[in-house]
């Protein structure tokens, strides 16, 4: 059982001056899994990733990656992992080729030796290999960073917000690459603030305020949704929001894309009651739309639960 886990995190605590970034976090990631850590900015994702990749020491708790205690034997884990920080951290004044060659030689290998491993990604930026990294677009920078993180054929990959600030097309390309790497058996941990990327992971951990709210497959997280959810389509969003927020049975009311989502405890608020209430409020031009909760709904509900508790 133990050796099926690529990452074991137990009771991890990290405190900066007066901020508790991580509050007793525990989590397991299986080998070969594409694992997402989802949460808003400031949730503690980066602290968690920096600790897992041996860049930061925790105050207490255990981190075990590929059977190696990261806090003690960081030298040997660094050979086996690839890490891509959220901020582009390659040499902007070196070309694509020079960056990759530099990191290859630091790992005592060469681009040629590992060409097959990164061919799929490298081939996309190879035409620009003489161009300096600083002159690349956001999407190309991400691909270059990924190449550098993969050039030594690591067994596990830590990606800290790889798609933040990258355009939609590059984002989906990037996820395709991750799926491909996963097929080859690589364990991948990726953090993201984008809820829509959660469904692309095998399992996700929802993180908020230094705590993990839930860990499961995206499907299970959505089916475990413990509330009834109704979406209302309207042109008068502001009035609709304010009148719905007065409704006692509605636990949560928030705008969601084009609609407004109304969350209530199961069986507490039927469509009829809602219709009646809105008519009584004198609202016009609206309709109730059937929706299934997605990860973001789950996240908002879990966050609310957490705050209430």
Instruction: Report if residue 107 touches another protein, rule: CB under 8 A.
Output: yes
Binding residue (CB under 8 A) for another protein from 94, 111, 291, 303: 94
Nearer CB in complex with another protein: 42/134: 134
Secondary element (H or E) of residue 213: strand 211-216
Four-CA torsion 203, 294, 40, 242, nearest 10 degrees? -160
Nearer CB in complex with another protein: 108/116: 108
For another protein, which stretch binds (CB under 8 A), given 25-33, 37-45, 77-85, 175-183? Answer: 77-85
Instruction: Report if residue 119 touches another protein, rule: CB under 8 A.
Output: no
Binding residue (CB under 8 A) for another protein from 78, 143, 203, 261: 78
Nearer CB in complex with another protein: 111/303: 111
Q: Binding residues for another protein, how many (CB under 8 A)?
A: 25
DSSP state of 1: -
Binding residue (CB under 8 A) for another protein from 8, 61, 91, 164: 91
Instruction: Report if residue 271 touches another protein, rule: CB under 8 A.
Output: no
For another protein, which stretch binds (CB under 8 A), given 33-41, 85-93, 246-254, 301-309? Answer: 85-93
* Footprint (CB under 8 A) of another protein, residues 145-184: 148
DSSP state of 206: E
| Rounded Cα–Cα distance for residues 99 and 136 (Å) | 13
**CA dist 122 → 125, 148, 239, 257 (Å):** 5, 10, 52, 36
Instruction: Report if residue 79 touches another protein, rule: CB under 8 A.
Output: yes
| Rounded Cα–Cα distance for residues 301 and 256 (Å) | 13
Tokens of 74: 């960081």
Instruction: Report if residue 83 touches another protein, rule: CB under 8 A.
Output: yes
Q: What is the DSSP string of 117-175?
A: HHHHHHHHHGGGTTSBGGGS-HHHHHHHHHHHHHTT--SEEEEESTTTT--HHHHHHHH
Which residue ranges make up the site for another protein (CB under 8 A)? 53-55, 75, 78-79, 81, 83, 85, 87-94, 98, 102-103, 105-108, 148
């Amino acid at each position: 059982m133990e050796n099926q886990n690529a990452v074991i995190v137990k009771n991890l605590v990290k405190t900066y001056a007066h901020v508790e970034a991580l509050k007793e976090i525990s989590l397991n990631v299986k080998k070969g899994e594409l694992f997402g850590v989802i949460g808003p900015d400031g949730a503690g994702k980066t602290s968690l990733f920096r600790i897992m990749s041996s860049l930061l020491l925790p105050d207490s708790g255990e981190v075990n990656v590929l059977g190696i205690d990261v806090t003690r034997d960081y030298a040997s884990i660094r050979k086996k992992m690839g890490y891509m920080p959220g901020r582009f951290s390659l040499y902007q004044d070196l070309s694509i080729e020079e960056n990759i060659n530099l990191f290859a030689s630091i790992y005592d290998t060469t681009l040629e030796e590992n060409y097959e491993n990164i061919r799929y990604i490298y081939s996309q930026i190879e035409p620009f290999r003489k161009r300096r990294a600083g002159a690349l677009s956001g999407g190309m920078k991400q691909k270059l960073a990924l190449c550098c993180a993969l050039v030594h054929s690591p067994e596990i990959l830590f990606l800290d917000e790889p798609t933040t600030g990258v355009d939609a097309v590059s984002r989906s390309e990037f996820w395709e690459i991750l799926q491909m790497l996963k097929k080859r058996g690589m364990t991948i941990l990726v953090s993201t603030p984008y809820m829509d990327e959660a469904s692309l992971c095998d399992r996700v951990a929802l993180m908020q305020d230094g705590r993990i709210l839930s860990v499961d497959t995206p499907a299970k997280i959505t089916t475990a949704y413990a509330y009834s959810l109704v979406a209302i389509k309207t042109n008068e969003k502001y009035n609709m929001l304010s009148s719905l927020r007065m409704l006692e049975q509605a636990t949560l009311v928030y705008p969601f894309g084009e609609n407004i989502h109304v969350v209530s405890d199961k069986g507490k608020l039927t469509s009829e009651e809602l219709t009646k209430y809105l008519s009584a409020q004198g609202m016009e031009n609206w309709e109730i739309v059937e929706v299934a909760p997605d990860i973001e709904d789950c996240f908002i509900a879990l966050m609310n639960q957490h705050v209430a508790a």
